[in-house]
Amino acid sequence: MSTYTAPLRDMQFVLNEIAGLEEICALPGNEEVSVELVESILDEASKFATGVLDPINRGGDNVGSKCEAGVVTTAPGFKDAYKLFCETGWNAMPFDPEFGGQGLPAAVTMAVNEMWKSSNMAFALCPMLTGGAIEAIAHHASDELKQKYLPKMVEGTWSGTMNLTEPNAGSDLAAIISKAKPAGDGTFLVSGTKIFITWGENDCAENIIHLVLARLPDAPPGLKGISLFLVPKFLVNDDGSLGKRNDLICPSIEHKLGIHGSPTAVMSFGENEGAVGYLIGEENKGVGYMFTMMNHARVNVGLEGVGIAERAYQHALWYARERVQGKIIGDTSNEKKTILHHPDVRRLLMECKARTEAMRTLAYYAAAQIDKAKAGVPGAQARIDLLTPVVKGWSTEQGVELSSTALQVFGGVGFVEETGAAQYYRDSRITTIYEGTTAIQANDLVGRKLAREKVPGAAMKTLLAEMSADAEAIAANPQLATIAANLKNGVNALSTASDWILANYDAAPAAVHAGSVPFLKLTGIVVGGWLMAMSAQVAAQRIAEGSSDSFYTAKLATANYFAAHQLPFAAAYAAEVMGGADSVFALDEPLF
């Protein structure tokens, strides 16, 4: 079996050359962060991922979490790993120092989080959900709640969850029926059932802080009548110690296709009197507050696509270097060689490597926009708003495709669980579904982020202009001419499709949304291709300056591969967006 090794060189390259780490370190609040410090952090994180998380990943899949009488026991090694994770400060990295956090930039934590997701995605879901809950509380809760709950959550002693989905209400939050009634002392009694609650019950954290969407008795119907409540597993005394168990229980956990090490809980609130909850922010504004958590989670789920693709690629590469099978086409030596020499195995591995690098550049670039937006850099908020659904939707779809591609390298034994390839494929499959399906991300992209933007299409047009200018600059280098030409074609395809959406959205919204997923994939390929082209430009410059570092040669190769094998899909996706709606609606319902 292979062992996960963090791709530190590529991570550092993307942080420095694409995300602009030096510029991020110079932003207000980041004065104590340096390139050298970040290198040290990444090095230590890689040791933790390889030495602690990767070894328990297989057991997490084979054994999984267990639930008996409302008590969840996590997979072997998870509890000890979580304790060490918190003791060594990894949970506190991105959060406000006021509450015990380290205040590190989003771009840095993005790179570190990739290692957690690659080495053990099921484990990484716990700190990811806790982080989202921290963000929601920090932005919207009262000072009293912040002071009472955030220090322990930032430390990791207490974990956090997001409770949206109900048996009758999946993506349609307007259908939520969970209730909250005033208790008369400033608290509320919450009742209802929530499903698909990631790490909703576990034996790793001392307390679990649930953020729950529910309706007050006099709330208006629909989304405008939903409030957000903080509901702890154990009530917290005024001195910060844990009090009695709240009126909530986990009656069961789900038996799933993948991420077996992550307990996905059914949560029942208010079996007796009602679970004591605390209103976050104002009444009936819970959906907006929860989206603070959702947006945090969506970028991080997109990173899961990167992480799982990287791990699946490493596993496939290990096998390709070990397995001797068949005669190599065009080889007259009759030597026994590994399957890495087969042309199509090379293609499969290049697919994984090049596309994963493109996803990584997009994820880290997006994280840099988060840092810039926090510092008030003009245009950064609009850019991250535009790219968030792309990071989530495109990267997770790629993660599923590439974990399947990596499994193909194994041939028949890849379908056998003992080789370990199937786990990455199974684990990847949830990523396109939770935190908003690919279709939801695509609808958000063509709707809120394009057609219904304050100035429709403004953020996309700014991005297109920047990519077009960069393509022209890259074309000046003959070595990069092919990359530049394919990038120009991709930018033109994205521009044409964007204009079509803006022209047709009001008159034919159903037709636009019928092509929204292809448009999301089109955007991902072009933006990913742009960032890969920028990477190639840096690599070519280093080589021209005399560097003999093979890393730059490899970067040119993967950028060329992406330009030749992925950017041509842009034209096809644009054609699908603009001309495919009629065929989507061609069948009457009885004909399906």
Give the HSE-up count for residue 573: Cα atoms under 13 Å, Cβ half-sphere.
Answer: 26
d(CA 557, CA 560): 5
d(CA 170, CA 571): 34
CA of 530: how far to CAs of 10, 339, 490, 523, in Å?
Answer: 17, 32, 9, 10
d(CA 420, CA 325): 20
Which long-range contacts does 341-345 make (Cβ < 8 Å, 24+ apart)?
345/320, 345/409
Sign of CA dihedral 169, 175, 176, 177: negative
d(CA 544, CA 547): 7
Question: Known catalytic residue: 435?
Answer: yes
As beta bridge partners, residue 231 has: 210
The terminus-to-terminus CA distance of the chain in angstroms comes to: 45
Which of these, 131, 118, 120, 111, lies nearest to 367 by C-alpha position?
Answer: 111
d(CA 567, CA 79): 44
- Retrieve residue 373's tokens: 């937006």
Do 207 and 242 touch, CB atoms closer than 8 A? yes
How long, in residues, is the chain?
Answer: 592
At 461, the amino acid letter reads K
3-state SS assignment for residue 72: strand
- DSSP conformation letters of 169-217: BSS-GGG---EEEE-SSS-EEEEEEEEEEETSS-SSSSEEEEEEEEB-T
Q: Which parts of 375-457 fold into alpha helices (H)? A: 380-410, 421-428, 438-446
Q: What are phi and psi of 548, to 5 degrees?
A: -105, 15
Do 455 and 532 touch, CB atoms closer than 8 A? no
Catalytic pick among 135, 435, 545, 576? 435
Which of these, 394, 418, 429, lies nearest to 528 by C-alpha position?
Answer: 394
Longest pairwise C-alpha distance within the chain: 86
Which of these, 460, 577, 444, lies nearest to 514 by C-alpha position?
Answer: 577
d(CA 150, CA 138): 8
- Retrieve residue 452's tokens: 């219904």
Q: What are phi and psi of 25, to 5 degrees?
A: -65, -25
**CA angle (446 as vertex; 440, 451 as ends), nearest 5:** 140
d(CA 70, CA 344): 50
Catalytic residues: 435
